[in-house]
Amino acid sequence: MTARRLAVAALLLILSAAPAMALKTDVLPPQGKNILTWTAQEQEAGYRRIPEVYPTRVIKRGSRVHALPRAAGPDLSGLKFSERGVDYTIESMMAANHMSGLLVMKDGKIVLERYALGRTAEDRWVSFSIAKSVTSTLIGAAVKDGDIKSIDEPVVKYIPDLAGSAYDGVSIRNLISMTSGVRWNESYNDVRSDVAQVVDRLPAPPGKNGIVEYMKGRPREVPPGTRFLYNTGDTDLAGVLLVNATHKTMAQYLSEKIWKPYGMEKDANWMLDYWGQEHGGCCISMTLRDYGRFGQFILEGGHGILPDGWLATATTNQVPAPATGRNQPYGFFWWIQPAQKSFQAQGIKGQLIHIDPIQQIVIVENGAVPNDGPPGGGKNAFLTAVVAALTTKL
C-alpha cells in the first residue's frame, strides 16, 4: 500500500471512530431524569451542558469584560500537601475529587488555572448551591434598591400564598439564614426526600408555583429563628420573594446588578423550575473564570449594589446554634470559617468559592463527585497550602 493510501486509511479510521469516542466520553442524561440520580458519565457531560437537559434563562453579559491578568508568581504547579497521611499534588487532588476546574486568584490575578473531565475555559459548569449565595446577594441588592424595605419584614408580605402556613411569623432574615423552623429533608440519596421531590415536577393549581404550593404544606418543626436547618426549599422561596419584590426575573436582575456592570466574560444560564421560575437555591451555569469574578466581586465589597454593612452581616454567623451535621457557622446563604477569617459558597458534587478577605484570595473548585462514593481527600490541605504559599511568597 502506498504512503498516500495509508494516510487516507488512517484518516478514515479516525473519522469512523470519532462518534464512538464522543459517545463514550460525553453521555448526556435522558430528559426528565432527576439530576440527583445521574450516573458519573452523565454528570461529567450534563454539568457542563445543562441548557441541553433543563430549561434555563440566559444571564446576559455586557460589552465590557473585567480583566483577570496572570500573576507574576509564585508557581503553584508543583505544590505538594498531605491530609490524613496521604500525600497529594494538585493533579492527584483534582483526580481524587473528580474536579473539572480549579482556579486560584490573589489580588484579582490568576495564580493557577486547571481543567479536567473534558472541560475547557469556554465551558460553563453548574453551580448547585453556590446559587444560594448569589440569591442572598440579590436580596441585599433589592434592599438597597428599596424593593424590599427590610429583611425583618414577614415573608408572607412578599409571598401572600404562604399565609396560613408554617411561614406565618417567618421573616426574610429567618429565610436567608435557614432558620425558618419549617420541617425539611435535604437527603440527596433519598428520592422521597423533600429536596428530591422539588427537583421533579410537582402538582400545582393553574397559575400557582409548585414550589410555593409544596412549601405551603410543610409543617413547622421549631419556632422561627431558634434553630438552623439546611433547607433548599427556603432558598427557592427566597428566589420567588425576590421576583415578587423586584418584578424582574432572577436572571434579568443578576444581569443588571452584577453580570453586565462587573464585566463577566460570558453569558450564564440559570435553571428554571417547571413553572418558569429560576431556582433560588440551585443551578447557575457559568465559566470557571466567571465563578472567580463573582468571588472577586464579593471580595471587593459588592461595588455599591448592597446596603452599607450588608456583606459584613451576611458573612458572619447568623444562626443560634452550630449548623446541623456540620458544626459550621452560617450567614445569609454563606458558610463561615471563623478560624481562617474566610467564608465560602458551597454546592454539592464539589462546587466551591472560597473567599479570604484578609489575604485577598479567591479559590474556585468545580467537580462531578459520583453519587456512588464519597469525595476524595486533600481539599482542606490544599486550601491551607495555597494560603501559606501566597502569603509568604507574594
Residue 137: count of CB within 10 angstroms of its CB:
25
Position 321 scores a pLDDT of 66
Q: Which three cell numbers stand for residue 84?
A: 490524613
**Rounded CA Rg of the chain:** 22
CA distance 387 to 385: 6
Position 184 scores a pLDDT of 93
CB 224 within 8 A of CB 170: yes
CB 173 within 8 A of CB 151: yes
Position 203 scores a pLDDT of 66
Position 6 scores a pLDDT of 42
Q: Chunked in runs of 10, what are the mean pLDDT values of the chain (394 residues)?
A: 44 40 66 89 96 96 97 93 96 96 98 97 98 98 98 98 97 97 89 78 75 93 93 96 98 98 98 91 98 98 97 94 67 92 96 97 97 81 95 62
- Whether residue 87 lies inside any domain: the answer is yes
Position 327 scores a pLDDT of 65
Position 202 scores a pLDDT of 65
CA distance 315 to 294: 15
Q: What is the CATH number for 298?
A: 3.40.710.10
Q: How far is CA 72 from CA 161, 302, 390, in A?
A: 55, 26, 12
Tell me which residue range forms the domain holding 316.
80-393
- Whether residue 92 lies inside any domain: the answer is yes
- Whether residue 338 lies inside any domain: the answer is yes
CA distance 222 to 194: 17
Position 324 scores a pLDDT of 53
Domain count for the chain: 1
- Whether residue 63 lies inside any domain: the answer is no
Position 73 scores a pLDDT of 85
Whether pTM > 0.85 for this model: the answer is yes
Query: In residues, how long is the chain?
Result: 394
